[in-house]
Amino acid sequence: MQSDPKSAAGGRAETVMTVLGPLEPAALGYTQTHEHLLADLSGVLGSSQMTSGVYAAGSGPAALDVEFPATVRRRMHEPIRPDNYDWIRRHVTNVDNLRLWDEDEAIEELGHYRLAGGVSLVESTSIGLGRDAEGLRRVSRASGIKVIMGCGFYCQPVGLDQVPREAIRDLILKDLREGVRDTGVRAGIIGEIGLSDPIHPTEAKVLEAACEAQMSSGAALQVHPGRSPESLFDGVDRILATGVDPARLVMCHLDRTLTSPGELERLARTGCYLEFDLFGQESSYYPWSDIDRPNDGTRIDWLGELGEKGFGDRLVIAQDICMRAYFRKYGGPGYSHILENVLPLMRKKGWDAADIRRVTVDNPAALLKNTW
């Protein structure tokens, strides 16, 4: 039940802010902490930053003739079909794949998630990726899934380099406290905030503004790091130097950035949340770096090792579904992949019910709750 509870002392109680309003943390249930329901990633196409992982908004398909050869341009506007599915999974140049803007499709996909046991999820689409506050509210109502919306900037919209840091901070705070524009739909997390490798000066300004908003609001801060370990730790150092409480910080996409136990433990020792959010995605489909991404079994092993070292209360998981080829409708794993395939593998590898609940229920609730 959506509610606005008071604490016993008469002050504001800790709640989770969803697109339908505040929710008691205990009602959050099973939660994947990094997904996309309504988004448009087609701006990556033709961008000069395409290989760095964060993209300047405003380039997009208009620049494609310059960036891609004829054989690629021919296929980039094809609809997703069984005969081109493998090609689309291996190339990030198909426009149909990158545009998640069908609300009915999102509702249908969430039906599988709910049937498998999903209750809530974090929708990490921020400004620059086509965030749709009103659309998310409709999708949440129709699907029954509790949706926590992000805010801040992932891409760099044209002119953002001229916007003062204070204005960016104030926009983030408005999204958290009042809602996006005049919709009344409030964000429940800051992010995902996008960083390149190396960190671009405009990204550094946005990151500083996001940190200021985090410390003012108490909301959790979710950060998409650059694709090298050095860039990730540079981002973490910058964030913690501002005074952000590491217990309010979640670093995303670790399973494409850190590949050694030592690196993972180094990050865990900062006290931040470690997000393994690429379950269902494996190395042969990864176009942006030379890293061999782990399979799901290896991800589970890494999580288990971190838990054994005492970091179990700082682990969260997700699938980062941001392309339609990942939808069940087209033969992909769907949002229910962790529930249907990963959790059984965890049990097979010796995880007990308490271990699983910690990373899928307890930790997300601790991360997302706040005194709004």
Mean pLDDT of 176-182: 98
pLDDT of residue 286: 67
Q: How confident is the model at residue 293 (pLDDT cuts 50, 70, 90)?
A: confident
Q: Report d(CA 291, CA 294) in Å as an integer.
A: 9
Q: Report d(CA 96, CA 117) in Å as an integer.
A: 29
Q: Which residue in this structure is represented by tokens 């039940």? A: 1
Q: What mean pLDDT is reported for the chain? A: 90
Residue 3 reports pLDDT greater than 70: no
SS3 321: coil
Cα 231 to chain centroid, rounded? 18
SS3 183: coil
177 membership: H or E segment, kind and range? helix 165-177
Would you state the structure tokens that stand for residue 90, as one six-digit string? Answer: 């291996």
Residue 7 reports pLDDT greater than 50: no
Threshold 0.75, pTM exceeds: yes
Q: What is the pLDDT of residues 51-66, one digit of tens each?
A: 333 444 333 333 333 4
Residue 212 reports pLDDT greater than 50: yes
What's the chain's length in residues? 372
> Which superfamily does CATH assign the domain made up of 23-60+101-368 to?
Metal-dependent hydrolases (3.20.20.140)
Q: Report d(CA 274, CA 167) in Å as an integer.
A: 29
Least confident of 3-17, 20-34, 157-171, 274-288: 3-17
Mean pLDDT of 252-266: 95
Which residue did the predictor score with more confidence, 64 or 179? 179
Q: Report d(CA 216, CA 210) in Å as an integer.
A: 10
What angle separates helix 133-143 from helix 103-116, to the nearest 10 degrees?
40
pLDDT of residue 67: 56
Q: Report d(CA 132, CA 17) in Å as an integer.
A: 16
For 59-77, the three-class secondary structure string (H helix, E strand, C coil) is CHHHHHHHHCCHHHHHHCC
Q: How confident is the model at residue 103 (pLDDT cuts 50, 70, 90)?
A: very high
Percent of the chain residues past pLDDT 90, beyond the cut: 78
DSSP 19-55: TTEEE-GGG--SEEEEE-SSEE-GGGTT-TTTTTS--
Which residues, 6 or more positions from 40, have their beta carbon under 8 angstroms from its beta carbon? 98, 99, 100, 101, 129, 130
Contact indicator for 229, 263 with CB cutoff of 8 Å: yes
Would you state the structure tokens that stand for residue 230, as one six-digit string? Answer: 């050095």
Strand-by-strand arrangement of the 190-194 sheet? 190-194, 221-224, 249-251, 273-276, 315-317
pLDDT of residue 70: 79
210-215: Cβ within 8 A, 24+ apart: 210/152, 210/168, 210/169, 210/172, 211/239, 211/242, 211/243, 211/244, 212/165, 212/169, 212/242, 213/152, 213/169, 213/172, 213/173, 213/176, 214/190, 214/244, 214/248, 214/249, 215/242, 215/243, 215/244
Q: Choose the most confident range, by mean pLDDT, from 7-21, 53-67, 134-148, 282-296.
A: 134-148
CB-neighbour burial class of residue 130 (10 A; exposed 0-12, middle 13-18, buried 19+)? buried
Q: What is the pLDDT of residues 327-367, one digit of tens each?
A: 999 999 999 999 999 999 999 999 999 999 999 999 999 99
Q: How confident is the model at residue 144 (pLDDT cuts 50, 70, 90)?
A: very high
Q: How confident is the model at residue 288 (pLDDT cuts 50, 70, 90)?
A: low
Least confident of 116-130, 148-162, 274-288: 274-288
Least confident of 104-118, 224-238, 286-300: 286-300
Task: For residue 136, report the phi and psi dihedrals to the nearest 5 degrees.
Answer: -65, -35
Residue 72 reports pLDDT greater than 70: yes
Name the β-bridge partners of 91. none
Mean pLDDT of 34-63: 59
pLDDT of residue 282: 80
Angle at 158 between CA 154 and CA 163, to 5 degrees: 80
